[in-house]
Amino acid sequence: MQKRQLGKSDLEVSAIGLGCMGMSHGYGPASNKKEMISLIHEAIDRGVTFFDTAEVYGPYINEELVGEALAPYKGKVAIATKFGIQMENGNQILNSRPDQIKQSVEGSLKRLQIDTIDLYYQHRVDPEVPIEEVAGVVQDLIKEGKVKYWGLSEAGVQTIRRAHQVHPLTAIQSEYSMMWRTPEEELFPVLEELGIGFVPFSPLGKGFLTGKIDKHATFGDTDFRSIVPRFKPENIEANQVLIDLIEKIAMDKGVTSAQIALAWVLAQKPWIVPIPGTRKLERLEENLGAAEVELTTQDLTDLNDALSKIEIAGDRYPAEFANRVGK
Residues marked active site are found at: 57
- Residues with Cβ within 8 Å of residue 164, at least 6 apart in sequence: 194, 196
The residues with which 171 forms a beta bridge, in sequence order, are 151, 197
- Residues with Cβ within 8 Å of residue 186, at least 6 apart in sequence: 157
For every residue of 11-48, which 3-state class applies, written as one string? CEEECCCEECHHHCCCECCCCCHHHHHHHHHHHHHCCC
Cis preceding linkage at 59, omega within 30: yes
Give the separation between CA 265 and CA 55, rounded to whole angstroms: 27
* Gyration radius of the chain over CA positions: 19
Nearest C-alpha neighbor of 98 from the set 124, 142, 129, 144: 129
Helix or strand or coil: residue 4? Answer: strand
- Cα separation values, 191 from 3, 43, 101, 104, 205, Å: 19, 28, 25, 27, 22
Angle at 205 between CA 204 and CA 209, to 5 degrees: 60
- Residues with Cβ within 8 Å of residue 278, at least 6 apart in sequence: 18, 22, 39, 284, 287
Give the separation between CA 23 and CA 197, rounded to whole angstroms: 25
Q: What is the DSSP secondary structure assignment for residue 85, as one 8-state letter? A: E
- Do residues 9 and 50 make contact, with C-beta atoms less than 8 angstroms apart? no
